Chains A and B, each alone.
Chain A
Amino acid sequence: MLTYLAKRLLLMIPTLLGAAALIFFMLRVVPGDVVEVKLRADGASVTQEVIDAERSRLGLDKPLPEQFATWLVGLVELDPGLSMWTGRSVVDEMSIRLPLSMQVAIMGALIATLMAVPMGTLSALYRDSPIDYLLRVFSLVGLAVPAFWFGMVMILLLLWLFNWLPPVIYTPFWVDPVANLSQLIWPALVVGIRYAAVVARMVRSSVVEVMKEDYIRTARAKGLDEKAVVIRHAMKNAMLPAITVIGLEFAFLMGGLVVTEQVFNLNGIGQLFVQAVAHRDFVLVQNIVMFIAVVFVLTNLVVDLLYAALDPRIRYR
């Protein structure tokens, strides 16, 4: 088990290296750079010397491989550089925004799991009944409606029904839980419902399959009541594929907060990312993407470990 873990962690290195190379070189293909955006933003005429001086200050005049190597070394030393736009350390820029984004993502995942598992299971157990149709319509709508629209409707409804808007200033949970939750529960709901729709479909089809298995018939033949049959025998098996989806979606969510944060005007990683792209702030962009890649890989590892914990047939070596 420990060797497996070590093996997996080591295997992350080539994966992340590949991701880093991809991000780095793809960004350089995009026309324009931060210096032009910064200095020529309002159509101001700036001499070429000034621009060149700024470029060389930011290291943009060095050959690409050298820039890449510098970044990699920075990554390893956990000092990935300074934002090209604000000049502040990337770590600082991200760490003030990370708690908010992480909280929304985790709350979204919790909401999704708590909704999707019972919904999918009910849907499967009462297949082709009104409950099933209702829940299936819900997941279809959840998948089809774009997050920004759903977010806007939510804000409008809050305003219209309660004449209340969620606060804009982020309060950490441990400072004032009520203020914190009243701000973040709404974006978490928006991402959570979409997430729940995906997971509920998976849970439903997985429970439907499992309920056809021979061992379910065996469990019934033992004289167990239906509750025990479903919870003990069916759910444990049905959750296996569902966990994969929950994990994958969580990783996607970290990257997908961009829109929701924009709608709710939250100063999170997503919004930082949008700004960084707009400013051609290469350093910031590549580090944010890198961070999301790490979250992705780690989530996958956690899913695999969880799988092994639930399914005795899987043993990692």
Chain B
Amino acid sequence: MNAPDLFPSPDVGPLATESNSKIMAGSTIEMLRSPALLAVEDLHVHFVQSDGVTRAVEGVSFALRPGEILALVGESGCGKSATALALMRLLSKPAGRVVKGRALFDGVDLLQLPEAEMRERRGRDIAMIFQEPMTSLNPVLSIGEQLMEPLLAHLQMTRQAAQKRVVELLKMVGLTDPQRRLEQYPHHLSGGMRQRVMIAMGLACNPKLIIADEPTTALDVTIQAQILELMRDLARRLNIAMIIITHNLGIVARYADSVNVMYAARLVEQGTADDIFGRSSHPYTIGLIDSIPRLDRPRQARLATIEGVPPDLMAPPAGCRFAGRCPHRIEKCGEDPPLAVVEPGHQAACWRADELLARTARAVQPVGVVIPPPPAADAPIRVSVRDLKRHFTVSAGRGWFGGSATVKAVDGVGFDIREGETLGLVGESGCGKSTIGRAILNLDTPTAGSILIDGQDIGDARAREVRRRTQVIFQDPFSSLNPRMTVSQIIGEPLAVYKLEPDAARIEGRVQELLGQVGLMPYMAERYPHELSGGQRQRVGIARALALKPSIIVCDEPVSALDVSIQGQIVNLLDELQQKLGLTYLFIAHDLAVVRHISHRVAVMYLGRIMELADRDTLYRNPRHPYTQLLLDAAPVPDPAIERQRRPRVAKGELPSPINQPKGCVFSTRCPMATAECSEAVPALRPVADGHYAACIKV
């Protein structure tokens, strides 16, 4: 079984990104002729828990041909991961079980195989790449050791042969210095590098199918682009079929050949990427696509959203699962709609699919409301940050008392925010954006520089008063609310602490008022956080921030933990509150499209410095700094037609360690335009046009 031609070493030349579109067109035709590699038929998965049965997957069927990239799209809990784990027979035991269905892989039903035979296929014929590269590798085994395992287990290679193959694989996935990597451990590598190792592990035995479960969700956008380009390139070159599970429609549009959209355990729409994006025929798909803020279209006044939340899969409603949230609902929706053909190769599970198809085939009509104007130029300055520096000392080096190194988390940042304005702060993880937020909240003392709130230095001001005026909305609504306090206690606590309301009854009244303001029902006051959905929890977080009537709110990634359809609701709420209450926002995020939607001005950060600062439209229309340009290129747009025409430039390399910052311009090591000059001096943030600043000597 380990005949040498089973693992021919594929050529390891540079990634052929230039000819991607050509490759894709050619192989699609070839693909359609070949028989299915995997045919899933009527898959049902249940999770049996003490409090009931969750029907996680119901009647999912799809087919996949060799070399095809299929995307499984949907929001959290829709059953996409359960489908993948069921195919791998890795559902968590004993709760997860496949109750019905077949999964024919090369003509053999995976679901009926004895465990020993299934084990032989896992890692050899079917490989899986997981979401979290940080936790998916064993921390105490070396990279080489972990990569060799499938080779030793499946191909009975000798250790020398396996080691040779591993070096080859590491080269193939673009890791430098592969020989040295063998001895390294996961904690030596960055997230992107670990995900490359995971991909190498998946490729080890030349599988026919790779299932990637949210492979880039945990990664920064420039790294995400690198990883996905790599995966697509490998799939095309080695003719590997791929199932990409994701909630990111941009990725789907850029990389998938065919798309399956799942909602509440069922497939609701199925077709090619062009079918799904250009001629969507299910209201959920339409809603999902509309609710993403888009970089390729003018900003809309409000984000379109899907109201409501997905049904509970322990007790799903009868009929169409989406009916409760659907704007096109009719009486017939009380009956289960079958997944029916709307045009050749394109299926949708909606009674009105044909109508909807006819409608979406026409141009998209933008929601034509007036975009709120930016605050007047003479509005008072609320927040003023001057040459802010925050350096951390970390122990490093050797010797008796250890050497120490300085991490420049924030290094000379300055900006103003006017009343009623939203300043978006974007950048990849570790660029210092949250550190700035913490400094403004007076939760951290800067190393140097000053922060003025309403003209008053927060270093001199009474901390309590500054805290009252500056509030925060956190990223993770799951861990930022105390699980043992009710909603009313959470929102009322700051009122009691600051003695803003005289008695308990008045506090209660104010809590109710705040709940109303953020769109929660009065009865939710007595609920505990775990009884609420993610979107509702984030609304509680917003109500808590509003309780003290602040003038400035630091929003630290307030929507990045939420599903797309919920994200829109929260962004709209923040927008409304700003207009109603005249709030000033510092909006920290890594999602460029969300930032564009909500911000008046945007600052792009990289390694503790602002690279570019301009008003929203200028920055997105005419980015001057090469880093901003790369960021915008790396972000995929949910439209396959546009994506096919773009030739995304991919930022090279990894984010440098903040301990060893590059000399001169911090971006020079990854910049496509960098020359020797760039590493000589740190470029200052200088005006390149009216109100448009960039820190680059080339512009």
Contacts and interface: CB of A to CB of B under 8 A. Distances in A.
A7 B401 CA distance: 9
A238 to B, nearest CB: 10
Contacts of A219: 138, 149
A304 to B, nearest CB: 16
A225 interface: yes
Contacts of B500: none
A21 B109 CA distance: 74
A312 B140 contact: yes
Interface string B356-382: 000000000000000000000000000
Interface in B121-178: 121-124, 127-128, 130, 132, 135-142, 149-150, 153-154
Contact of B88 (A215, A221, A317): A221
A165 interface: no
Interface string A224-261: 11001000110011000000000000000000000000
A214 interface: yes
A217 B90 contact: yes
A236 B140 CA distance: 7
Interface in A185-243: 213-215, 217-225, 228, 232-233, 236-237
Nearest to A311: B140
Contacts of A214: 130, 132, 135-136
A217 B84 CA distance: 13
Contact of B130 (A217, A228, A236): A217
A3 interface: yes
B132 A312 contact: no
B139 A218 contact: no
A53 interface: no
Interface string B183-197: 001010000000000
A219 B146 CA distance: 9
Interface string A38-67: 000000000000000000000000000000
A218 B123 CA distance: 10
A3 B398 contact: yes
B24 to A, nearest CB: 28
A215 B141 CA distance: 11
B523 interface: no
Contacts of B398: 3, 317
Contact of A317 (B142, B185, B198, B402): B402
A310 interface: yes
Contact of A225 (B119, B130, B201): B119
A221 B130 CA distance: 10
A28 B613 CA distance: 73
A3 B154 CA distance: 44
Interface in B381-403: 395, 397-400, 402
Interface residues of B, number: 34
B120 interface: yes
Nearest to A232: B141
Interface in B101-129: 119-124, 127-128
A215 B133 CA distance: 9
A220 B397 CA distance: 38
Contacts of A225: 119, 153
B120 A223 contact: yes
Interface string A100-132: 000000000000000000000000000000000
Nearest to A224: B153
Contact of A218 (B136, B142, B154, B395): B136
Contact of A215 (B124, B136, B153, B187): B136
Nearest to B149: A222
B201 A215 contact: no
B181 to A, nearest CB: 14
A60 to B, nearest CB: 42
Contacts of A222: 122-123, 149-150, 153, 201
Interface in B592-616: none
Given A214-B135, A312-B187, A223 B90 contact: no
Nearest to B118: A223
Nearest to A312: B185
A15 B185 CA distance: 35
Interface in B58-80: none
Contacts of B399: 3, 317
A310 B140 contact: yes
A205 B149 CA distance: 27
A214 B395 CA distance: 30
B561 to A, nearest CB: 18
A232 B123 CA distance: 17
Interface in A295-317: 310-313, 317
Nearest to B125: A223
A222 B148 CA distance: 10
Contact of A224 (B136, B149, B395): B149
Contact of B122 (A220, A236, A310, A311): A220
A215 B138 contact: yes
A214 B122 CA distance: 16
Contacts of B150: 222-224
Interface string A273-303: 0000000000000000000000000000000
Contacts of B139: 215, 237, 311-313
Given A215-B136, A224-B153, A313 B187 contact: yes
B137 A215 contact: yes
Nearest to A6: B400
B142 to A, nearest CB: 8
Interface string A151-172: 0000000000000000000000
Contacts of A220: 90, 122
Contacts of B142: 312
B185 A313 contact: yes
Nearest to A234: B138
- Which 10 A-B pairs give the minimum distances between C-beta atoms? A223-B123, A223-B122, A222-B123, A214-B135, A312-B185, A215-B138, A221-B128, A214-B136, A222-B150, A218-B136
29 contacts: A7-B400, A215-B136, A215-B138, A217-B90, A218-B130, A218-B136, A219-B138, A221-B122, A221-B123, A221-B128, A222-B122, A222-B150, A222-B201, A223-B121, A223-B122, A224-B119, A224-B150, A225-B119, A228-B153, A232-B149, A233-B138, A233-B141, A236-B138, A236-B141, A311-B139, A311-B140, A312-B140, A313-B139, A317-B398
Given A214-B136, A223-B123, A312-B139, 9 more contacts: A3-B399, A3-B400, A215-B139, A219-B138, A222-B122, A224-B119, A224-B149, A236-B138, A311-B140
Interface of A: 3, 7, 213-215, 217-225, 228, 232-233, 236-237, 310-313, 317
